[in-house]
Amino acid sequence: MNNIITINNNTFEIRLAKLEDINEIQILNRKWTVKSLDFDNKNDGFLFCEEYKPEDLKKIIESKEIAVATTKNEVIAYYINDNHSHLLSQYESAIKQLIQDDIISENLRVSKRTQIVVEKDFHRLGLPSQMLKLLKPYLTIKYDLLFSIGINENPKRIAHEKAGWKIVYENDFNYYCIYKLNADK
Ligand SMILES: CC(C)(COP(=O)(O)OP(=O)(O)OC[C@H]1O[C@@H](n2cnc3c(N)ncnc32)[C@H](O)[C@@H]1OP(=O)(O)O)[C@@H](O)C(=O)NCCC(=O)NCCS
């Protein structure tokens, strides 16, 4: 399944990621990853975590849980739902805590980690929701909820909330949020 859309005179293809995209996805991931929060101008957002390795991305692509947006044959955004990488232990512990605290019901199927990146020139065009729309048929057969951990200092926290994510826990440093794939659950 793929999808061509035009927004503000830019034409994008929204599709599942392919193995040939690994290099470009890795470049986007690396570009937005910071090693410390001690930097100026956080306005466009950032990723404060380890980078994905090609073997992680291969598994995620093969599971059909990642979409990309391309323009002029270049990958300019991705929407990762990660249940296979080597970067999940913090997410698994957080989900376990939320189940123990009855914030997430234990019969629900939870996708462990969502990470979204859109290149700066294409922010505020609604690409994340287009990518999620494409992924939904693949995700809803496996999961009831998507899960993510955000950093309070990321001003893009608002983008999570506006896109329908619900913050279910927060402390001084980060926040946990969920997205219901099936509104009835
Ligand atoms: C976070 C990110 C994916 C959002 O992408 P985006 O393309 O801007 O998202 P959307 O177009 O869907 O914006 C969603 C909504 O968030 C809100 N929003 C986003 N940025 C905002 C800002 N700087 N100020 C106020 N509201 C903002 C808006 O309500 C926007 O909808 P609107 O334009 O219709 O008002 C993008 O900024 C990004 O890749 N940043 C770098 C990496 C990152 O921080 N990822 C998040 C960690 S998972």
* Residue type, position 182, single letter: N
Q: Which of 68, 71, 118 to mutate to test the pocket of ligand 1 (most atoms within 8 A of CB)?
A: 118
Under 8 Å between Cβ of 48 and 34: yes
∠ CA(158), CA(2), CA(75), 5° rounding? 60
Q: Ligand 1 centroid vs 76 CA: distance in angstroms?
A: 14
Q: What is the pTM of this model?
A: 0.94
Q: Tens digit of pLDDT for each residue in 5-55?
A: 999 999 999 999 999 999 999 999 999 999 999 888 899 999 999 999 999
Confidence of residue 158 (pLDDT cuts 50, 70, 90): confident
Q: Ligand 1 centroid vs 48 CA: distance in angstroms?
A: 16
Q: Tens digit of pLDDT for each residue in 44-95?
A: 999 999 999 999 999 999 999 999 999 999 999 999 999 999 999 999 999 9
> SS3 of 140, please?
helix
Q: Which fold would CATH assign to domain 2-180? A: Aminopeptidase (3.40.630)
